[in-house]
């Protein structure tokens, strides 16, 4: 069943490139993988069916390879002929004989943001991101998981001291009582803080980058202070980069105008969450919501001055999957092409231009010599296809370069107009972009790549 109008002519690309529909009729695909054996695997989140699935795509048919994972399934990776599946709170190995084993369980992924797809480093270690429970460090009525996990909250990655600020909200855990409650940072809902309370660091930290052996043993924390490290990958120079989304204007501690961040990861550093955005303190006036309250620091002191991002994206871009281009016939050698999923806020007449036009719903290119970001593929209208009903991009979630040198773009599908988080069945698409006019891009010296950002 194919429920989506598709027309590649509705998508703008730079001169010399063409785009086509490679596969369609999926539900909510989150990523794809070209295996060393020559197979193409597609991961489905399970958002629609409640049953995440990994498909093998053969002769235009989707053959189930494995299912029954936790929602959402957010990525698949191959290492030493095994498939590593990242799904909520869990990392699972699928062995060549079809058996499987959960090698990491119990991750703190029951809040707003889950654990990410795994990546393998040059040291043979497995790396992955762990998202935060909340938007900005405080459990509030915007966290829809409170009733299922009333004692859940964020956990820091190092010893911290909190300033004792508390936030007043209706007590939604006692709906029959007309009462309000106070909630502090890094605490369960309705638990207030005293000034100068301390919290110990956790390996399984909220907003952390973790690593382990390929079998899941010897888990350790690499860095923390990210909000939603949704995707990470090593380049050929063995450097680790991560896509991290910025704060929203919501909850007990709303923060405005926070950009998305493409960060180079240095082990041992804190990257700013919940008190900095893109290397700037949230106490700066630019982060004050319109008509709202200026955010204050939650921490008394900070582990370090957070690094500036390698590249930045506008608020609501929601950057996710990315890949490095090493095909000089396709584009500049080593540059990153990244999926911008787009705003996850409910649409209103008032915010349509600010949240949708010029933001997200595209594939962008990061110039790895300068950190400059440019749009590569976007609908000609500038809006997602679910709003305009044109036949182009809607929710790009991953970008992968295939063995044929083409770029494959995973489009999660059409969402409803009323809410950006409810998807329509059979509207997921895989797009294929190729270069039609041959051009060779010169490789630049790796030592010159954005040295100002990697110092």
Please state which of the ranges 168-177, 240-249, 334-343 shows the lowest mean pLDDT: 168-177
Residue 1 has pLDDT above 50, yes or no: no
Give the mean pLDDT of 358-373: 94
pLDDT digit string, tens, across residues 75-90: 999 999 999 999 999 9
pTM, entire model: 0.94
Which tokens go with 138? 């405080």
Please state which of the ranges 259-263, 350-354, 355-359 shows the lowest mean pLDDT: 350-354
pLDDT band for position 454 (50/70/90)?
very low
Residue 436 has pLDDT above 50, yes or no: yes
pLDDT at 440: 55
Residue 444 has pLDDT above 80, yes or no: no
Strand partners, 351: none
pLDDT at 413: 94
pLDDT at 183: 97
Sign of the CA dihedral with 316 first, then 45, 28, and 364 last: positive
Strand partners, 213: none
Please state which of the ranges 34-48, 330-344, 358-372, 412-426 shows the lowest mean pLDDT: 412-426
Give the mean pLDDT of 360-366: 96
Closest CA to 414 of 27, 13, 8: 27
User: Which residues have a Cβ under 8 Å from the Cβ of 16 and sit 6 or more positions away?
Assistant: 435, 436, 437, 439
Which tokens go with 318? 């929601």
pLDDT at 9: 97
Give the mean pLDDT of 143-155: 96
pLDDT digit string, tens, across residues 218-252: 999 999 999 999 999 999 999 999 999 999 999 99
pLDDT at 441: 55
Give the mean pLDDT of 277-305: 96
Beta strand residue intervals within 357-442, DSSP E: 362-366, 373-379, 396-401, 407-411, 428-435
pLDDT at 455: 35
pLDDT at 178: 72
Supply the DSSP string of 290-346, one letter for each residue. Answer: TTSPPP--SBSS-SSPPPPPSEEE-TT--EEEEEE---TTTSSTT-EEEEE----SP
pLDDT at 448: 29
Give the mean pLDDT of 57-74: 96
pLDDT at 344: 76
3-state secondary structure of 446: helix
Rounded CA separation 217/222 (Å): 15
Residue 350 has pLDDT above 60, yes or no: no
Please state which of the ranges 38-42, 49-53, 116-120, 176-180 shows the lowest mean pLDDT: 176-180
Rounded CA separation 455/295 (Å): 30
Residue 2 has pLDDT above 70, yes or no: no
Q: Quote the percentage of the chain above a pLDDT of 90.
A: 87
pLDDT digit string, tens, across residues 374-413: 999 999 999 999 888 899 999 999 999 999 999 999 999 9
Contact 337, 376 (CB under 8 A): yes
């Amino acid at each position: 069943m194919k429920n989506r109008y598709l027309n590649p002519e509705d998508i703008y690309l730079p001169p010399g490139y063409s785009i086509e529909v490679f596969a369609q009729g999926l539900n909510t695909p989150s990523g794809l993988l070209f295996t060393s054996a020559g197979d193409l695997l597609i991961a489905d989140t399970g958002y629609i069916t409640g049953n995440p699935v990994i498909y093998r795509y053969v002769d235009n048919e989707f053959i189930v390879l494995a299912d029954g994972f936790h929602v959402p399934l957010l990525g698949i990776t191959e290492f030493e002929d095994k498939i590593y599946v990242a799904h909520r709170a869990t990392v699972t190995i699928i062995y060549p004989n079809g058996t499987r084993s959960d090698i990491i369980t119990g991750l703190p992924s029951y809040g707003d943001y889950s654990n990410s797809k795994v990546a393998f480093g040059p040291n043979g270690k497995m790396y992955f991101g762990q998202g935060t429970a909340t938007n900005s460090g405080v459990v509030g009525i915007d966290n829809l998981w409170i009733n299922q996990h009333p004692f859940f909250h964020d956990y820091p990655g190092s010893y911290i001291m909190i300033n004792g600020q508390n936030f007043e909200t209706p007590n939604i855990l006692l709906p029959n009582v007309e009462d309000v409650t106070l909630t502090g940072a890094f605490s369960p809902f309705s638990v207030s803080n005293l000034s100068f309370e301390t919290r110990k660091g956790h390996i399984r930290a909220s907003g952390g980058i973790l690593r382990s052996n390929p079998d899941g043993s010897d888990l350790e924390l690499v860095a923390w202070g990210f909000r939603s490290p949704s995707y990470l990958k090593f380049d050929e120079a063995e450097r680790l980069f991560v896509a991290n989304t910025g704060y929203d204007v919501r909850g007990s501690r709303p923060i405005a105008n926070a950009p998305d961040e493409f960060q180079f990861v240095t082990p041992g550093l804190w990257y700013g969450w919940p008190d900095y955005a893109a290397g700037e303190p949230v106490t700066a006036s630019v982060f004050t919501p319109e008509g709202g309250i200026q955010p204050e620091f939650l921490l008394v002191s900070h582990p370090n001055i957070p690094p500036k991002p390698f590249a930045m994206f506008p608020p609501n871009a929601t950057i996710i999957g990315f890949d490095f281009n090493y095909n000089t016939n396709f584009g500049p050698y080593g540059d990153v092409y990244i999926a911008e999923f787009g705003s996850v806020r409910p649409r209103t007449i008032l915010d349509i231009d600010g949240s949708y036009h010029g933001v997200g719903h595209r594939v962008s290119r990061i110039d790895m010599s300068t950190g400059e970001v440019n749009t590569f593929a976007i609908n000609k209208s500038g809006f997602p296809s679910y709003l305009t009903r044109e036949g182009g991009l809607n929710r790009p979630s991953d970008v992968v370069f295939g063995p044929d040198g083409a770029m494959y773009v995973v489009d999660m599908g059409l969402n409803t107009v009323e809410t950006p988080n409810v998807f329509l069945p059979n509207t997921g698409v895989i797009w294929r972009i190729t270069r039609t006019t041959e051009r060779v891009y010169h490789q630049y010296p790796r030592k010159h790549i954005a040295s100002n950002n990697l110092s």
